[in-house]
Each structure stands twice: as structure tokens, then as C-alpha cells.
Amino acid sequence: MNNVYNITAVILAAGEGKRMYSKLPKVLHKLCGLSMVEHVINSAKEIGCQEPVVVIGHGADQVREAIKDVKFVMQEQQLGTGHAVMQAEEYIIDNDILVLYGDTPLVSADKLNEMYQFHKTGDYGVTVLTADLDNPAGYGRIVRDDMGLIDAIVEDKDANHEIKIIKEINSGMYFFKGVELKKALKKLTNNNAQGEYYLTDALQIIKAEGFGIAAFKTNDPAEIMGVNNRLQLSEATEIMRSRILREHMLAGVTIIDAKNTYIDKTVKISRDVTILPGCILEGRTVIEEDCIIGPNTRIKDSLLDKCVNAQNSIILDSKIGEATTVGPFAYLRPGNVIGKHAKIGDFVEMKNSIFGDNSKASHLTYVGDAEVGKNVNLGCGVVFVNYDGKKKHKAIVEDNCFVGCNVNLVAPVTVKKDSYVAAGTTVTKDVPEGSLSIGRVRQENKEGWVDKLNNI
């Protein structure tokens, strides 16, 4: 969505979130790879709000640290929604103001865009996002006039029986004419039982100035779902996960079992990728065309080029070249760059290493802090011994080398190109180009040794 509107978003994120029972501020709890408030910020940015204003309070330092590319204002005391918006007064000018909540992560940019078009077409003073709920208890009810505009918003505790049977409720999300909101905020009072400044009172003030107050009803109540505890966070996560999977499938990704596939919002997947059951794709992962992922594979912050096949493996912060195979049961720790048509086989662990095109580590091998060239074969049980007890060191195996089974490469050491290392060798010094390195005790067979042992 590339719409550019003159909108300032004010996102209320100052609440404590006691019902989360957590040291973490409520709005920083994550679903599908992003914190709740990041989902809200991204939706606002998608409709053209360049630098949303985030109102913070409880856990302010943690929120400042976690969230970037926004403006912050501080609400020292939580004295109601109207009071929270007052803190952003310097950013409320003659443009339109969108008020959102940091704990409503499911509100989508598409819905906000539809709502804004409705708001501008009607030239309303305020537009309220509403929804019909089967059980509206606890929510403010929308009372409409004969023209279909909002006559009043009646809080549940103040509602009589006639009002309580209304199913349309107030989400608390609004578009305001900025000039009118600024005037209304100056007129808000806290003359109520709670001693708080309510943003809903601003609607009545704007209405009294002759502006229409409209309701934009969403047909998807999930859009306005607030998260107040871990159960609701789980429910919101499930809805978000379903949206993400649907989007990928409609864009050409085959997902064999959606109920057992978990993909973060930030993951990018090209068409004709197949995701098998039990996969978890996280963070800034990018998967190019024709890859096959899984089953039971976790990938985080990694780039997989075309035609990669990864199964039953963990891949973290690594780059994997075209047509390379990974697994089963491989563990790629952070920092690897693996070339094209390579093989990282079963029970291979690799970290912070370069691994060249057409090279193979087929099974039971550890490659750490290494540089492996092209067309290299690492036999079963090869270990790059990279740690001396104090520091990590680098081992280099150049192009076209063959390293036999159960070889230890004690770094720092280099095996020059076109060389062979015999099985069972411990390499402690550089191997010259085109050489055969053997570093093991010569075999000796002592015939009759067992009989002598038994006769002792």
C-alpha cells in the first residue's frame, strides 16, 4: 500500500498490563515475530503515517529501546485516554489524527485505509471504528441517530437495558480532524467518578461544534481485539498466524499443513516454495523460489537462495546458496555463508564459516570459524578444532581438497588446494599444495597377544 496521506498517528502505549503478569511492558509482548505495538505502528505507517507518536508510561525505557523510527511522548500518570492524547498535543496540528492502541495488534492497514476513505468522503469531524459483538458486555455501545451518525457512546456501566442490547461497540480507534481535536482536548474535564479525562468526551465536544460523528463498522471483530492477558495473546497470535499463512498461499507458496506451520510476519517467501509440516520460519528470513523446507525445520534470520532443500534442521543467521541441501538434522549456528550446490548433511554442525560451491560435509562433522573452498569433501567425523581454551582460531581448507574421516584440523592451520588428508590424521601444521598429509601412529599387529593376556 503506497498511499500518502497527511495523517499523524497517536498510539497509546502507556498502560502497565498487570494481567500479563510479566516484567515486560504489555505492548512489547510478541506475536508472529513482532511486538504488539510494532504491528500497530506498521499498520499506521502503511497508510502514510511517517513517524507515529507513541505515548509511553510504564516500562518507558524498555519501549524506547525496543521501538525505532517513531516519536515518543511521556504520560507520567495514567489519567485516562483523553489525558494520554493530550501528551501528544504538540504533534496535533491541522492534519488528520489517527488514534490507535498499542495492545490491538490485529488492526490492519487495509481496514484503516478503508476507514480513512470513509472519513474523508463524509468530511466527518470524527470517525469511530466499530464492530458488532455477540457478547458486547464491558464495551461502550454505539447509539446512532436517524441519519445513521453517532448520537452517543454509552459506557456499559452507564447503560440501561435498552442500550445494553445494542451489539455495536466502540473500538476506541478514531480518525479526527486535527484542528477540532486540539480544541476539544482543551475543553476536556475529569469531572467523573474515576477522575480521568476520557477521549470519548471529545467526540461530544466536536459534535456540539456542528461536526458529524460517524461510525465505520468492520465486519471482522478481530480487527479491534485488545490483548490484556496471555490467553488473549495466544488467541491473537492464532488469528495473525492464519492471516500470514493465507497471504503466502495466495501468493503461490504451498503449505502442506497450515495447522502445524509457523511463519513470522517479517518472513519473505517467493512463489513455488513448499513448506512441509512442523516448520518455524522467523525474523528476517528470506526464502527464494523452488525451495523445499521441512519437515520440522526452524529457520531464523537467514537467506535461502533458489532450490535449497532443508529438512529436519536448524538454520540461524546464515546464507545458503542455490540448490544446496541441508540436513536432515543439521545445525547451522549464526554466521555461515554456504555456496551453491553444496551439501550439509546429517548431524553436521557449522558456525561462522564460509563453505564453497560444490563442497560436501555429508555427516557427523563440526565446521567452526572455518573457510572451506570449492569442491572440497569433508569425510565423516571431521572436526575443525577452533578453540584453544582462550581464543577462537581459523582453519582454511582450499579448493579441491579431500579430508578423510575422523580428521582433526587444529586451527590456525591451512590445507592448501588440491591436497588430501588421510583418515585419522590430526593436522597441526599447514599442508602444502598438492600434498598428502598423514599424521597418525603406524598400525602394528601383535599376533597371539590375546592368548598371552588370558594366560597371565
The whole-angstrom separation of Cα 149 and Cα 424 is 83
The whole-angstrom separation of Cα 26 and Cα 228 is 8
The whole-angstrom separation of Cα 26 and Cα 11 is 14
Phi, psi of 84 (to 5 degrees): -60, -45
The pairing of beta strand 126-132 with beta strand 168-177: antiparallel
* Amino acid letter, residue 437: S
Task: Respond yes or no: is residue 363 known to be catalytic.
Answer: yes
The pairing of beta strand 141-144 with beta strand 150-154: antiparallel
Closest to 284 measured CA to CA, from 266, 269, 262, 297: 266
User: Can you read off the three cell numbers belonging to residue 242?
Assistant: 492464519
Report residue 296 CA to chain centroid gap: 19
Angle in degrees, 0-180, between the axes of helices 109-122 and 36-46, rounded to the nearest 10: 50
Q: Which residues contact 232 (CB under 8 A, 6 or more apart)?
A: 225, 226
DSSP 57: B
Q: Which residues contact 452 (CB under 8 A, 6 or more apart)?
A: none
The whole-angstrom separation of Cα 324 and Cα 355 is 11
Q: Which one of the listed residues 119, 341, 363, 393 is annotated catalytic?
A: 363
Helix residue spans in 8-59 (DSSP H):
36-46
Please give the full DSSP string across 181-206, using - where no structure is assigned: HHHHHHH----STT----HHHHHHHH
The whole-angstrom separation of Cα 235 and Cα 135 is 17
Question: Strands of 436-437's sheet, edge to edge?
Answer: 254-255, 274-275, 292-293, 309-310, 325-326, 343-346, 360-363, 377-378, 402-403, 420-421, 436-437
Position of cell 498466524? 241
* Amino acid letter, residue 408: N
The whole-angstrom separation of Cα 273 and Cα 271 is 6
Closest to 147 measured CA to CA, from 122, 121, 177, 166: 122
User: Which residues form the catalytic set?
Assistant: 363
